[in-house]
Every structure is written in structure tokens, then in C-alpha cells.
Structure 1
Amino acid sequence: MTKTTTVTTIFGPVRVQHLERASPELAMVRHQVAARVYAVEGNQVAGMLAISPAYDDQEWGDINLGAEKIRALVPTRFSVIFGRVRTRALLDGTPVRHSPILTIDGAEVQAPGLTLARGGDTTDFPVTIRTGDWTSKPASALVAASTYEVIRAVLTVHEADTDRVSDADRAYARYRTPDRHASAQRDLRAALRLRDQIQERINRLETYLTVTRS
């Protein structure tokens, strides 16, 4: 049993506990590579959310060369995962594993695809409430504000354990290296084709200028 840390928020104290992978509470939670799952409890707050590393890749555009993806060398953001999409069993009756469920004021909150800067703002994203297997609606301002506070509390606890963060970063980098190398190689092949096309154009122009000068 790991210790529980209490974090003060504007909505009252939130108790945060890191859950080991073998915890019974995670039996139906879908495992994300290098994710660390935390249980939370507080005023109108209950449930879990997961924190995993994320890369801060950038997209650069050039009117002549096209878009270029600048890949970060190490993870520098956090992916925050909570909210299930569906609850019905598969056709063969197999129960569906889902992301951690977080409830605020009795409603299941979601923020799909959420990544946040480390040590940065935790309030610049939309929060929705799950209304069905595939449907949701915007959360009220109060529920959204409470969600921001809960995420801030969990990130505070997570970032304080630097060994845990470092271990997760290394595990995530190892897992992502093959697919990131493959995509970089595809981009490199495209860039080399472009280089060859540009060199051919240079050769044609130089040949024209050479011939017409004589």
C-alpha cells in the first residue's frame, strides 16, 4: 500500500494515492505504456486518472518544402488520461477495459487527448461529461474548475517523485523508439527525393545558362 498525499485545492483537500499495477482497483483499467495511475478522493471528487509521458513534437511549415515534423529527443510533456468511451461488453461477452474513471460532482468527466506541459498551466483545455457510450457534453464551469484542481493535485504528487517520472520517461522512450524511427525514416526518404528533384532542377538551369553564354 503506497502512502496517500493530501493536496490543498480551492475546493478543499484532495487525497492522492499512487496505485501499483497489481492493485485490484485496476482490474478493468486498460494499461497504458509507462502510465502511472492515481486514485483521488475529495469533496465531490472520486475515481482515478493516469499520467504518462508525452513528446512535445513540433510541426514546421514551408511554402516550398512542405511540412516538417520536428521530433523531440525526450518526453517533455504529460499525457493525462481519464474517461471511458464505452461500457458495453464485446459481442462475445468479454467486458471492455477502459481508461481510469474520474467523477466530479457525480458526473464522469473526460478530456480526450489531453497533454500538458510539465510544471505548466493545468486549466487550458475543455472538459466534457460522459452522457452515453459514444456521447458527451461540455461540463459546467464549476465541474471544469474542479477537474483542473484535481489534475493539478495529481501532477503535483507525480512530479514530486522524480525517480518515478524518470523511470516512466525511459520506459516510454524505449517503447516509442521503433515507431518514431520508422516515421523519421519515411520523412527522410521523402526529403531525399525532394533533394534529388531540386538538384535536377539546378542541373537543368546550370546547363541552360552554360549553353546560352557561349
Structure 2
Amino acid sequence: MSGELRAVNWLQTSELVKNLPPSINRDAFVSSRPWLNFADVTSQQYRDGDTRNSLLQLITLPSIPGRELLRVHYDAIIHNRHDEFGAAYESLSQLPGIYPDVDRRNDLKEASQLCKKLIAQGMGEQAIELAQTVHASLSPGDTTVNRFFLGDILRKVATATGNAKLVEQAIQTYEHPFVIFDDNADNIATPSQRLSRGFKELQRNKVNKARKQAKRMKQ
């Protein structure tokens, strides 16, 4: 639960598929229901039962705030498609903690593209604020690469602007990926599951690359 506005529930769809009766063809069942798994049924991810691709996230909100959230999000999508990056940012900046497109299977594609466009337009500060909005909206159960999105954007803006202090901030977010650096939000989101070896390894790699970047920028 995030405040009183949002509830996040999860459905482990791989468990649903695993418990199908023998009379039902597993691959055909998933192929006809793409919402069950984002991985193609012929992929290694699917055969390995990658939970990242089979964990369905359901966000529920009260009716009036929920409709307003969808309207604001839709406006942002339209603005972005028309290359109105500033207007898209203004819309999404209204959604700290409740940005809806945080399903771990989507790789934050929409937010990533908009941040990239903002940086290219010299709007690095807005890109960082958007990344903070997304970071504050991640579910406590999200232990994927999404946790490093804010740090990645900080580093990209640092590269574009030459501001080495932003790299130091990125290192801080990499080292503490469950901390929400926002005075208006709870400070810590506790992961609902143990962190995988892969997550910890990626975290170390992110920190090391950021430290090397900071060193180069200070030379």
C-alpha cells in the first residue's frame, strides 16, 4: 500500500500455469493469454520459468483518483508522441509515488524514452525529476533493474552537463536502491523478497562504473 491512494497486488502466473491439469496444453494456454507471460513460449526465459516475466502486477486506486491518474497519464503519452516533451513532463510530474507504468516487465520503456528526449533538449533537471517520480512509484516487491533507473538517469544527465556531483548522487542511489530520496515520501521501501545474486552483482557493477565515471570527470 502506498499511502491511502494505491494498493499493489501480485499474481504469480507461473504458479497458475504450473498447476494446470494435464489435459490442458501449457504452451497453447500461455500463447492464447499473453498477459500471463511477456516472454515468448519458445524462449529460454519461458523455459526457465523466469519470474520477472510471469509476475503480474495489479494496481488499484479509488475511482475518482484512479480516473484522474489515467487521464494525466494519457495526456503525457499524447504529448510525448507529438514531441511535446515539456508538456509530457509536466503531466507526469503530477504522479509522484503513483506513476502507473512500473510493471517490471515493461523495463520502464516509456519513462526511459522521455528522459532521453528531455536530456537531449537540455532539460536534464526535468529528466531527473521524472526519474524520481518513477523511483518513488516502484513497488517494494520490485527487485529488478528498475531499482537503478534513477541512478542511470543521474549519470546520463551528468555526462550531458559535466556535473560530477550528479554521479555522486547516482552512486548513493545505487548503493541504497530502496531509499526514496524525497522529503514528501516515506524514506525506505523494504523489499518483499530476498535480493538475488544477480541483483547484487548488477548493483556492484553499477557502483563501480559510476565511481570510474566520477573519477574521469574530476580529472
What range is the shorter-chain TM-score in?
Answer: under 0.3
Larger relative contact order (Cα-Cα within 8 Å, sequence gap ≥ 6): 1
- TM-score (norm. length: structure 1): 0.28
Larger Rg: 1
Higher strand share: 1
Q: Which has the higher helix share?
A: 2
Normalising to structure 2: TM-score of the pair?
0.27
